[in-house]
A and B are shown apart, each in its own frame.
Chain A
């Protein structure tokens, strides 16, 4: 068998077809048909699946939004038992539907997500009717606790993401409503924020490494990592700029910033390639580096501004080069 025949016997790829189209070996119609045969351009089966999922998600979204609007309209005039009854009725209906459909189906998981949101709606209705003057953070914490069991059994990454965001909200509200700026723990908000989200990302990666398919989605840990990076970045910048009295905890956080970035760069370049994590890490390091350089040389004269502009270009070029290298090295290793 000669080389030409060998190549034609290899697995067809989208990239190969695109190369042939760019070289005008195949025309546009042939390219389109080739991508359909490869399953890349959606055929009737994929469209049916898309419409099936899309119509379910849209139907649920429009229905639940309509319900919320209905509550908003009728609210003042409704008796309190009617208000509570409607929400609880929806919760019971949703639970019955999930029992019928099972949690292993997409329909069941989306319904469970809607159910979790309805619990939030129920608590807010309850808080509105029976006003005790309690801080709102209590309601959010209670909601988080009540839906924790459902989140655990759902094996549905969007619901997990919503729950972690809810926990973050509880943290912010608690700090805003309860913790006084004179309290010793006031400065530890960023540490808690980092721990929450950092541990969530870690748990996600461990679960994904163990082969849990529902944790294969990369966007949830990526978005949560942004919160973790933010939690480390703010104290580090405060240490650099040194406006007013910097809490001693922030020095620890600054050290942690560099350690975590080193671990992120190692793990997401050598163990599991994720260019988003590497980019986020690089961006946070650039923030800190430029803040420090600015701090050192801000009185160095007008040419310092030109230097900073060129310095930023150089850093960006370096980051892009390193990202490309990491990506190429990973591809070589996978072959």
Chain B
């Protein structure tokens, strides 16, 4: 709930704290009074738009193949795909601002990406023509260009998911499965850094590009953390996965975030409350070492609350429930050990709650 306080009082209070004391009054008044830009659509409307755009894109691609405008997976199809992406960017950046053109540009871009992506991958393995190249990098570059140039949050989100999927595909294709942990940690670190810098990004006008990309990264992070309990457990080199590495990495990030937030609130880094939280986080390794998703979901839950992103809080809670349930299927320990560890941690959380309420009042720097 927002505190009842005027703009002037906020600036006066900040001036008293030595923050941004010279704020030009007229400029402030003009900017605050300016007509609001259109509020962004809620996430479920964007989901609806994204699904509809995909369906439209698939129908357009099917049409192009049926009428034999595109009759083969060849250079002509690739050019069509890239031209579609370019046309979509032009409509998006220079066309009149209306909803129909916005959706049309989205569908055209998706059509172009499908065409270009299919051709890039098909032609990369063409034994008859002797062509052989890595298809991942050109496709990733295409998606990065689209993220940079096409100003649509749904498309930027989809492109981010495509990029992360390509990177995972590349890891398995090249049989370097250990890199999955590096990539998982890269997603977590990237998300953390983006949220730490959120206000800097807003003041640089980069929020439009940042939010869809960071949510794409978060969903990819959660998807990767489902693999310990998924079909990948039957992968031939599954033991190479060794999810302990990711679990420890995520724990380190969770500890860092705890200390960072505590310092921001004025707590000493090793005050009783902070130490208690760090010890509890470390003990979460007991189930987390086998199901790192538990730690990952808690990290994102903390980030969501810290920055007021309710959607992130909801997604993280849903994934946390899912990961706890997948712990049942972890084969490394017996059910007895798993049950005792979960009960012990449950009691630990309740004890920590009691400790924080009783022994940490008034504890600041």
Interface of B, secondary structure class, is helix
A70 closest partner in B (C-beta): B339
Contact stretch, chosen from A42-50, A118-126, A136-144, A145-153: A42-50
Cβ-based interface call for B131 (8 A) = no
B354 closest partner in A (C-beta): A55
- Bound Cα distance A51, B307 (Å): 15
Range, interface on chain A: 35 or more
- Least CB distance, A54 to chain B, in whole angstroms: 8
Cβ-based interface call for A19 (8 A) = yes
Q: Contact check, A25 vs B24: say whether CB atoms are below 8 A apart.
A: yes
Q: Contact check, B338 vs A317: say whether CB atoms are below 8 A apart.
A: no
Q: Contact check, A29 vs B20: say whether CB atoms are below 8 A apart.
A: yes
- Bound Cα distance A16, B29 (Å): 10
Which residues between 64 and 94 of chain A lie within 8 Å of chain B, taking CB atoms?
A: 64-70, 72-74
Q: Contact check, A30 vs B19: say whether CB atoms are below 8 A apart.
A: yes
Cβ-based interface call for B6 (8 A) = yes
Which residues between 154 and 206 of chain B lie within 8 Å of chain A, taking CB atoms?
A: 197, 199-200, 202-203, 205
Query: In the complex, which residues of chain B have a beta carbon less than 8 angstroms from the beta carbon of A286?
Result: 52
- Least CB distance, A40 to chain B, in whole angstroms: 6
Cβ-based interface call for B331 (8 A) = no
B12 closest partner in A (C-beta): A8
Query: In the complex, which residues of chain A have a beta carbon less than 8 angstroms from the beta carbon of B277?
Result: 51
Q: How many A-B residue pairs have CB under 8 A?
A: 271
B11 closest partner in A (C-beta): A8
Interface of A, secondary structure class, is helix
Contact stretch, chosen from A195-203, A230-238, A250-258, A300-308: A300-308
- Least CB distance, A37 to chain B, in whole angstroms: 5
Q: Contact check, A312 vs B308: say whether CB atoms are below 8 A apart.
A: no
Q: Contact check, B346 vs A279: say whether CB atoms are below 8 A apart.
A: no
Pick from A11, A28, A35, A43: contact of B6, CB below 8 A: A11
- Bound Cα distance A17, B349 (Å): 37
Cβ-based interface call for A289 (8 A) = no
Q: Contact check, B265 vs A47: say whether CB atoms are below 8 A apart.
A: yes
Pick from B1, B4, B28: contact of A8, CB below 8 A: B28
Query: In the complex, which residues of chain A have a beta carbon less than 8 angstroms from the beta carbon of B63?
Result: 302-303, 305-306, 309
Query: In the complex, which residues of chain B have a beta carbon less than 8 angstroms from the beta carbon of A282?
Result: 48
Cβ-based interface call for B235 (8 A) = no
Query: In the complex, which residues of chain A have a beta carbon less than 8 angstroms from the beta carbon of B364?
Result: 44
Q: Which residues of B contact A (CB under 8 A)?
A: 1-11, 13-14, 17, 19-20, 23-29, 31-34, 36, 38-39, 41-42, 44-45, 48-49, 52-53, 55-57, 59-60, 62-63, 66-67, 98-100, 102-104, 107, 197, 199-200, 202-203, 205, 261, 265-267, 277, 301, 305-308, 321, 324-325, 327-328, 334-336, 338-350, 352-353, 356-357, 364
